[in-house]
Structure 1
């Protein structure tokens, strides 16, 4: 796949504070990348640098395999802050102004309004729009010149559940049309549901970069109970496909290091004279993986 963005050792310091600390990753065409991390992790600062809004302290980036820090922003649509339109103008009039700035044809306006579900409300004034509608209008504006990459900073921030679902569905629809999307979010659920790849940031450092599937590809764990917990723990600790075990509320939690069927585990334990009263296999969620990365950083 073609790279649309390559970041190399990017660092940004504000005085003695390091907001982004030596991060490197690349974005491939046609995927949805999530910059995931708590507030203050360096997501917005990273976006600011790759959009030429902030100067890096160190490192570089390049868009579309061109020269580092090149001026390819005409091929990129971005929404970094809250949508800013003239409140007393209609949605269509506001997009006409955006089209003039982007040198886009007015014929694109209705096309993008239809894409974001606002075509029937195009004559309504911006001030009468809900927060979710304002966000969708901003996305329509960012798409007017048919950019190859769309960048969104916390696109569902402050929205009600219905608004969140609408933005999520819109992101998926835009991605299906071939647009590469980079979105910053502190919401694990949002990233897990719409992103193909994730870059995990915390305190300015990158903890993981890769596919969501690979990050969430652990073999999970089993939760087992028996009348003799000590014998159960001993038996599990000697099995080659168990990496770690712990006792929790009179149950043994054993982390798997390879794929195993619960029935097979039950059979192995039975052959060692252990009758289990409870055996459940659990898959680690992206949330568990994320917090494990944070915990490892602290250690």
Structure 2
């Protein structure tokens, strides 16, 4: 897979504070990457460095296999601050100004407004827009020059649930058309629903880097109960597919170390004379995996 961004041992210090600490990861074309971490974890500083607005203390990066090329950044669209448009101008006029600055064609304006669902509001002043609409206009502006990569820093921050859903839909739509997206967020739910890959940061360090589905690719676990849970507990301990078995109130939680279907488990237990009153197979959520990773660092 073609790499659009490679980051190697990137470090940024502000006096005695290390904001980004020896960060390394790469971004492959056509995916949605989430930089996940709490405020102060180094997400925005990392984006600032790869966009040439923050000077690194150490390390390096390259876009499209070219070292620190200004031309490469012409292929990158970014929103790293709150939308900054003229309040008294319409959405269309504001995008005309952006097109002029970027050297992009004004003929793209209607297309980009349509992508973000604002084509019918293009004549309305920016000051009349809701926060979510302002953010969507910013995405349209970042897309005017048809970038290969779109960078978004906390794109749903401060939005109401409806606004969050709309932004997520737009991100997925843009990604589906082949644009690589790098998205910084402190929201687990956002990363799980939007991103194909995730880089988890804490205090500037990488705790995990890889595919979201591989992070949650444990074999899952069963929640079970029967008329006699003590007998069920003993029976589950005799099945080699399980890694750990524990009582959880009126139920038993059995964590898998290899694949086993609910149907197969039900049959095995029935052959042992155990009739289940409850059987549910679940998968570890990104939240559980995230908590395990971060707790292991403390």
Q: TM-score range by the shorter chain?
A: over 0.9
Structure 2 equivalent of residue 283 of structure 1:
283
- For normalisation by structure 2, the TM-score amounts to 0.93
> How many Å apart are 1:118 and its aligned residue?
1.3
- Which structure 2 residues correspond to residues 104-253 of structure 1 after superposition, within 5 A? 104-253=104-253
CA distance in 2, matches of 1:45, 1:238: 51
Q: Deviations over 1:8-59 (max 9, x none)?
A: 1112222222222222111111111111122222111111111111112221
> How far apart are residue 146 of structure 1 and its match?
1.0
**Which ranges of structure 2 fall in alignment gaps of 5 or more residues?**
none
Q: Which deviations, in whole Å up to 9, do the C-alpha atoms of 1:49-87 show, x marking residues without a partner?
A: 1111111222111100112x3322111000001000111
Structure 2 distance, partners of 1:195, 1:17, is: 30
SS at match of 2:201: strand
Structure 2 counterpart of 1:70: 69
Q: How many residues align?
A: 297
Give distance in 2, aligned partners of 1:233 and 1:10. Answer: 50
Q: How far apart in 1 are the matches of 2:159 and 2:167? A: 9
Bigger drift between 35-44 and 140-149 goes to 35-44
SS at match of 1:7: strand
Quick one: distance in 1 between partners of 2:19 and 2:228? 51
Comparing 214-223 with 229-238, greater Cα deviation is found at 229-238
Distance change in 2, residues 1:226/1:190 (3 Å): same
Q: 1:25 aligns to what?
A: 25
Distance 1:274 1:119, change over 3 A: closer
Shift of 1:245: 2.2
1:109-137 Cα deviation digits (max 9, x unpaired): 22211221212211111111111110111
Q: Which residue of 1 aligns with 2:56?
A: 56
Structure 1 vs Structure 2 CA RMSD: 1.7
Query: 1: CA distance between counterparts of 2:297 and 2:240?
Result: 27
Query: Which ranges of structure 1 fall in alignment gaps of 5 or more residues?
Result: none
Task: Give the whole-Å Cα distance in 1 for the aligned partners of 2:112 and 2:134.
Answer: 14
How far residue 267 of structure 1 moved from its aligned partner, in angstroms, is 3.3
- Please state how far the C-alpha of 1:237 moved relative to its aligned partner: 3.2
Report SS of the residue matched to 1:240: coil
- The CA distance in 1 between the partners of 2:164 and 2:27, in whole Å, is 25
